[in-house]
């Protein structure tokens, strides 16, 4: 599992487009939820 906080810090340092950051956040949340759901089956 990669470090989510480390990834966020990297994004904050590189200062990308806020919309891109939001999109990536959404993707990560979806991915984590998918992993969570998958692990329960």
The predicted-structure confidence for 1-41, as pLDDT tens digits, reads as follows 567 777 777 766 766 677 887 888 888 898 899 989 888 77
Task: Output the pLDDT for position 6.
Answer: 79
Q: E strand or H helix at 30, and its extent?
A: helix 18-40
* Cα–Cα dist 36/39, whole Å: 5
Say whether 4 sits in a helix, a strand or coil.
helix
Task: Output the pLDDT for position 16.
Answer: 63
pTM across the whole model: 0.45
* Cα–Cα dist 8/31, whole Å: 15
pLDDT tens-place string over residues 19-29: 887 888 888 89
């Amino acid at each position: 599992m990669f470090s989510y906080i480390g990834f966020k810090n990297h994004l904050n340092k590189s200062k990308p487009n806020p919309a891109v950051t939001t999109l990536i956040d959404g993707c990560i949340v979806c991915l984590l939820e998918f992993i969570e759901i998958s692990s329960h089956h």
